Structure 1
Amino acid sequence: MQTVKNKIVFISGASSGIGKACAESFAQAGAKIILCARNTKKIQEIANALTAQYQTEVLAIPLDVQEKHAVTNAIDSLPAEWQAIDILVNNAGLSLGLEKLQQGDIADWDAMIDTNIKGLLYLTRKIVPQMIENKLNGHVINIGSIAGIHAYPGGAVYCATKSAVKVLSDGLRMDVVDTPIRVTNIQPGMVETNFSVIRFHGDQQKAAAVYDGIQPLTAEDIADIVLYAASAPAHVQICEVTVTPVHQATGRVIYKEKK
């Protein structure tokens, strides 16, 4: 295995859930972390906590990945010592609503497409050329979803965005095949974070019901896999990992114990 110590890791959507857990895993391993999210106060608090606990360098930058020009400006404005990004973790993503397609909220569709697809594209387009120019053994790790493999009722648009993440990961892997850059797509099943709270527009009761009767994955479970993929020997490319709780087979084939 190779070390990620002193490597620069850029993590989007780092203010909570999988992004936050990835930040902690990489910080513990000695990497230098760039955290980005819309919540400026939260990512700065996380940065301060990681620096204090692990004595590593952490840079927090406020960024909404949906904004193309904001992404460009944020990357261009990085201090010189932070510009050679070794690992990009495209984690920013969300799901909104669970209505049938013909009844869906177009504003929800726009938010999912702009974050899950366009945000990933904007960061990848800006950072990967720098990896190539700097002759880095770069690594792009995309956080996809089992929803990108199997659609389910009420989730057509979200599933489509995560299917796009899978295809974009495969396409990028082909496009950088003549470089030392690796591309990994992580496809989790049920992970208990604020994902369902956001999906149900803040309805805590509905969100909690999603995980009743099953032990879901944790954000830390996914962060462990991300770190493992990044730590694999330089000649080893982990292309794709699909991970679910034991009692989940697909997005909607789930066994829940009755109370």
Structure 2
Amino acid sequence: MQFRDKRVVITGAGGIFGGWIAEAFAAEGARLLLSDNRPEAVDALVSRLGPNAAPVLRHRTELTDAASIEDLAAFTAREWGAPDFVVNNAGIYPRSGPLLELDVADWDRLMDVNFRAPFILTREMAKLMIREKVEGSIVNIGSGAARKMNLGSVPYCTSKTALERLSKGLALELAQHRIRVNVVEPGFAPGSDVSLLPPGYAEDMIARIPLNRASGPGDAPRAVLYLCSEAASFITGAVLSVDGGNSIGTYQRPK
């Protein structure tokens, strides 16, 4: 229970991975600030956490709006002073099709959520942590797509590559303040109501994963908690893949 009463900010908390990460921290006694632009999804998550969880704060954040992200940081400052841990989990995964047919507005929205928002939020939260002398940890949720380009998902792959490079730069700059920044690359987990997938896509993806299953509720959260723990106190700027081997390459199963 080393996370008891630790203050954890999680973006995209109403999504699949956000909910799993929140549940894992709550089980360890952490205090949560759940950020999402869908209050009903956060309400459902809080209900799942149950009455024994530590008090939960909520913020309706629109990650395409810098002012909304800055308001999340200001809310954190008012309530806590500073967080101990920040998990930039929110992301969207639209099947964008050929680049030559991609609308600029779609490109901008994806980059705003997947890349620009983690930069702004980390910048603001790190300022609070430095001011309050919190030697904490920031975990950005990346993707194996950062190292494996996929047709139809080039903007997504680009955004996750950029996020990993940004994470390493932030790790370098924040090291002097004993704030660690790392990346977890979760495996494929279908079912998001934000990034809808075409029929048959999930089955095809799972068939390509070397360990032959989708990501489960304990996989990525364990990695996030590890990187926030004392056991990882000498790890910063690292990328930890928890994807069943999917980022290694495509596995072709015998027919």
Give your verdict on TM over 0.5. Answer: yes
1:96 to 75, 78, 94: 94
Could you tell me how far apart the structure 1 residues matched to 2:105 and 2:203 are? 25
Could you tell me how far apart the structure 1 residues matched to 2:223 and 2:113 are? 23
Match of 1:230 in 2: 228
Supply the AA of the counterpart residue of 2:2: T
Is contact 1:64–1:70 with CA below 8 Å preserved after alignment? Answer: yes
Specify the SS of the correspondent of 2:21. helix
Deviations 1:105-137 (A, max 9, x none): 433212210100111112111101111111111
Specify the SS of the correspondent of 1:77. helix
Measure how far apart 1:98 and its partner are: 4.3
Q: Which runs of 5+ in 1 are unaligned?
A: none
Matched, 1:215 2:204: no
With structure 1 as the length reference, what TM-score do the two structures score?
Answer: 0.87
Deviations 1:203-236 (A, max 9, x none): 4x24443445341222431111111111233732
Match of 1:163 in 2: 161
Could you tell me how far apart the structure 1 residues matched to 2:235 and 2:4 are? 19
RMSD: 2.2
Could you tell me how far apart the structure 1 residues matched to 2:220 and 2:242 are? 8
Could you tell me how far apart the structure 1 residues matched to 2:164 and 2:214 are? 22
Match of 2:195 in 1: 198
Deviations 1:135-186 (A, max 9, x none): 1111110001111122122221111100011100000011012111111111
Could you tell me how far apart the structure 1 residues matched to 2:117 and 2:254 are? 38
With structure 2 as the length reference, what TM-score do the two structures score?
Answer: 0.89
Supply the AA of the counterpart residue of 1:61: H
Could you tell me how far apart the structure 2 residues matched to 1:210 and 1:115 are? 26
Could you tell me how far apart the structure 1 residues matched to 2:202 and 2:131 are? 46
Match of 2:43 in 1: 44
Supply the AA of the counterpart residue of 1:74: L
Measure how far apart 1:188 and its partner are: 2.6
Q: Which runs of 5+ in 2 are unaligned?
A: none
Deviations 1:218-258 (A, max 9, x none): 24311111111112337322522012225x354x6133565
Matched, 1:67 2:61: no
Is contact 2:3–2:28 with CA below 8 Å preserved after alignment? Answer: yes
Specify the SS of the correspondent of 1:233. helix
